[in-house]
Amino acid sequence: MIMAQIESQIRYVTNADGETTDVLVPVEWQQLISFINSDNVSGLAWIDEQEPKAQILADLQEFMRQAAGQTLPVSEL
């Protein structure tokens, strides 16, 4: 969503005195979950940050063995 679209969808909640008590901002649910679950520095998901380095290396080595001699689309790498 571009900023103008977001701004046009912002809603304000007021109390009986007309004072703003809350602001509703539309967000894409998946983007919110992704943002919450990612590390601000690396951009990796929390679960990926917690995976042991030995397991990451083993997974990469297994993938390389399986992919030896094959041409794969970039989306699968």
Residues 5-60: tens digit of each pLDDT: 777 888 999 999 999 999 888 777 677 667 666 766 666 666 676 778 888 889 88
Residue pair 20/14 in contact by the 8 Å Cβ criterion:
yes
What is d(CA 5, CA 7) in angstroms, rounded to the nearest whole number?
6
Two structure tokens written together for 67 = 């992919």
44: left (phi over 0), alpha (psi -120 to 50) or beta: beta
